[in-house]
Structure 1
Amino acid sequence: MPALSPTMEEGNIVKWLKNEGDTVNVGDALCEIETDKAVVTMESSDDGILAKIMIQEGSKNVRLGSLIGLLVEEGQDWKQVEIPSDTGDAPLLSGPPAAVPFPIPSASVSSLHKVEHHPEKLKFRLSPAARNILESHGLDASLSTPSGPRGIFTKEDALVLLEQKQKGKPLEAKQVVSSAPPPQVGVPLTPSPTSKIVPAARPPVPPVSVPGRPPSTGTFTEVPASNIRRVIAKRLTESKTTVPHAYAAADCDLGAVLKLRQELAKDDVKLSVNDFIIKATAVTLKQMPDVNVTWDGEGPRQLQSIDISIAVATDRGLITPIIKDAATKGLQEIAASAKALAKKARGGKLLPEEYQGGSFSISNLGMFGISSFIAVINPPQACILAVGGARPELALVVDEEGNEKLHQQQLMTITLSSDGRVVDDELASRFLERLKANLENPASLALS
């Protein structure tokens, strides 16, 4: 299982594109893998014959480095391929883990807090947080029993192990099952040579919902989270807890944009309001390069290229494909790029270079009837623009002759979320002021 994105930790085998016994050449598509970002086609780096598919279609949560298939050289008997004994971490599907016994170490129980790695240790489904704690502190999950749903070893389970280790307490397995008669009450339990340690049996869980019947109080149905959903949850939490968000909003009059769209449509040039917003944002970033920055953990980085990430909603979650060098593109080119990227995103066909990076994000919910909202920054970017829908409002204006009259405006609220470490309130305010001016003068955008 290869790393097909920088943040990928696991992958799902969506579909094998080759069968066992098929000849494979360098560059041939082997299988489709769902990463934490999209569905990516894995290509072969060698010539040969696909001798064995180790991980079948539909397998979930396959760890990086796990063996998913075997190739042999042409001319070899692929049916007699030798399967390596160490095939990496096999995917663990839904349902509690099977009870896999292992021998009790000869060391005394009190010395188990000196965590050792046993080749036959139990394999659990680890939550990402639990895995991070175990790996950071050298803890062994097999010395405890998972308490999460479907046998998942949770963050709380890992913290209990860590607390016991820090206090110097022995790390004990939760349950001992032996073929010997059960001990009498008050008699210390001494493991016999035939004793085997297994995870504590979980009580049977009744079905949470029954088709055709109304759900009872307190019941629920678990929905499995895709890799993309898990990564979105992780990154949103990191963003809101580690990035100091600041917010500023402004109302823009879209009257000139809407009028120009109608005129261009007569010449069969079809542009959306979002295309104008992308172009205006890119032009404004070119005029104010101090906003075209990212935060790399140590300090700001001012970027030379203006790459606009556009938020696209998909069945698997939100993803942000990138329109690169948007300031140098015309409105029609931006419109074509945005449409093509959105289609590929919804089909899960984006290439890594089409969604990795970006210097500034735009999220537009105006087409869903949302008047205004606040978006969460996508680190390491420093800003994201939340765009609401246009709404008619009457305003009192003064004409060239000094006469007052009512004029109907089409106002749109734009809200900038900015990283206070690199874009302070004064800079964010000036950026919105310049962006508003560019949007209200779309003719200059069409010519730039």
Structure 2
Amino acid sequence: MAASLRPSCRSGARMINLLLGRDLRRGALVSTVGGCRFLHKTAELLGTPAVKILMPALSPTMEEGNIVKWLKQEGETVNVGDALCEIETDKAVVTMESSDDGILAKIMKEEGSKNVRLGTLIGLLVEEGQDWKQVEIPSDTADVPSLSPQAVAAPSTAIVSPVPKKSEHQPGRLQDALKLLDQRQKGKSIEARPVVLSLPSQPAGVPLAPPLASLPCPTAPPVSVPGQFASKGAFTEVPASNVRRVIAKRLTESKTTIPHAYAAADCDLGAVLKLRQELAKDNIKVSVNDFVIKATAATLKQMPDVNVTWDGEGPRQLQSVDISIAVATDRGLITPIIKDAAAKGVQEIATSAKALAKKARDGKLLPEEYQGGSFSISNLGMFGISSFIAVINPPQACILAVGRTRMELGIVVDDEGNEKLQQHQLMTVTLSSDGRMVDDELASKFLESLKSNLENPTRLAL
């Protein structure tokens, strides 16, 4: 016997329900799809259907989470946007909000549940007015073995319920259902309406199953998608200049293809500061950064194994020491080059650095003035930064990050072996090196030599 159906789906549903039949001999409902018959227990169809609440992806790298606290209890009314529970991700504790209205019928993962995988069922929601105490517990409540945030963020919800036996009204309804399914597969929206099913009258003496009222279709609740903005208009797109696009490309290339290693050292600049004062008396103006450039160039001359670049297959040792200095401009960071810096004096380096920095800010650098280089220096001391780590400028092997000069008290031993407190002008330098060319031992020796050169600036004239 065939049952009549008005094909539709409740609000928010993403499945198509078709005709159901009844097998009187078995006392069960039978459905048919393509000539195949499926048996359903009547109680399963008559239980209170529910919307699944799944463990969402609340951070781009989240693979599992901990249920810290449920903010709603079973039987409580829940509205869209209400806080459901607190979830501890790999980044922080985040409040999960409801994406649907209804009643929280069942908490599947209690407070304190640890390492709950993405996509795991953590709760059930039913529509208001339904008997939440009689909610049907899905049979597939086990944890999902492994789901990526992207997989959970885009669940598949194309489900087709069984088709009844043939009847005179079936072909038209079947065509409608197939048309709706085709629209769903093409990404078109499907109108959401409630499902109404009716069963035909039964012969005398045959038990009649309870009437099938509205059978809402359970939906897969939306989950947090990493990187999405809360609403349109919440941000302003800033067009990237060509310079910034190149910078972005090179930084990404550097961090994804170069094995960065880091080492830091504190240098005592007392002798450098004293020498600057003496030079200033003769109207020779040089900065601390000029001494850093000179000391770095001298150290590279002493240690040619660090003055290398990567040519794609191995290191290439350079004959000239060409220091790239990072200069901030309105269009982004650019690194003009002081050529053959090891052969220049501190005063000549100071003159070249000022001229190149001005040309960089005015946008007048020639390609040969910023392309190439064997070693980079980035100094943020003038901004009050104590220390930082810089990203290598490929194909160079190293970049030196220079912090501000700071006053610290330290214990020193005089010529007679007595200990006393003395003020020191310290500066932290951090070396980022390409592990393929400069290993930890070589990097340590480089910093040791650089520290010695900075703390004894008179050697730089030799």
Q: Where does 1:214-225 land on structure 2 (aligned, <5 Å)?
A: 219-225=234-240
Secondary structure of the corresponding residue to residue 429 of structure 2: strand
Corresponding residue of 1:313: 328
Q: Counterpart in 1 of 2:444?
A: 429
Distance 1:335 1:297 in 2: 34
Q: Give the aligned partner of residue 169 of structure 2.
A: none
Q: Indicate which of 435, 440, 445 corresponds to 2:455.
A: 440
- 1:371-423 Cα offsets, whole Å, 9 max, x none, are 00000000000000000001100001111122221100011000000000000
1:239 matches 2:254: yes
Distance 2:411 2:315 in 1: 44
Alignment of 1:161-172 (within 5 A): none
Per-residue Cα deviation, 1:135-156 (whole angstroms, up to 9, x for no partner): xxxxxxxxxxxxxxxxxxxxxx
Larger Rg: 2
Amino acid at match of 1:251: D
Cα distance in structure 2, aligned partners of 1:387 and 1:377? 14
CA displacement at 1:216 relative to structure 2 = 8.8
Write the mapping of 1:25-424 to structure 2, written as runs, cut at 5 A.
219-424=234-439
Pairwise CA distance, 1:300: 0.5
Q: Give the Cα–Cα distance (whole angstroms) in 1 for the partners of residues 242 and 317 of structure 2.
A: 31
> If each structure's strand is expressed as a fraction of its own residues, which one has the higher value?
2
What code does the residue aligned with 2:381 have? Answer: G
- TM-score, length of structure 2 as denominator length: 0.50
Q: CA deviation digits over 1:113-158, x for unaligned, max 9?
A: xxxxxxxxxxxxxxxxxxxxxxxxxxxxxxxxxxxxxxxxxxxxxx
Within 2, Cα distance between the matches of 1:357 and 1:398?
45
Query: For 1:402, what is the secondary structure of its paired residue?
Result: coil
Tell me the secondary structure at the aligned position of residue 363 of structure 2: coil
Q: CA deviation at 1:444?
A: 1.6
Please list every run of 5 or more consecutive structure 2 residues that lacks an aligned counterpart in the other structure: 1-177, 183-229
Q: Deviations over 1:263-312 (max 9, x none)?
A: 11011000000000000000000000000000011110000000000000
Alignment coverage as a number of residue pairs: 242
Percent identity of the aligned residues? Answer: 85
Which structure exhibits the higher relative contact order, with contacts defined as CA atoms closer than 8 Å and separated by 6 or more residues? 2
- Cα pair distance change 1:224/1:253, threshold 3 Å: same
Deviations for 1:25-81, whole angstroms, at most 9, x for unmatched residues? xxxxxxxxxxxxxxxxxxxxxxxxxxxxxxxxxxxxxxxxxxxxxxxxxxxxxxxxx
**What is the rounded CA distance, in whole Å, between the counterparts of 2:269 and 2:406 in structure 1?**
9
Aligned mates of 2:371, 2:233 — CA distance in 1? 41
Q: Which residue of 2 aligns with 1:156?
A: none
SS in 1 for 2:396: coil
- 2:251 alignment partner AA: L
CA positional deviation for 1:218 = 6.2
For structure 1, the 5+ residue unaligned runs are 1-184, 190-214
Deviating above 2 A after TM superposition, structure 1's stretches of 4 or more consecutive aligned residues are 215-218
Partner SS state of residue 305, structure 2 = helix
AA of the residue aligned to 2:292: I
C-alpha displacement at 1:217, in angstroms? 8.7
**Counterparts of 1:299 and 1:352 in 2: how far apart (Å)?**
25
C-alpha distance in structure 1 between counterparts of 2:295 and 2:237, whole Å: 43
Larger CA deviation: 216-225 vs 343-352: 216-225
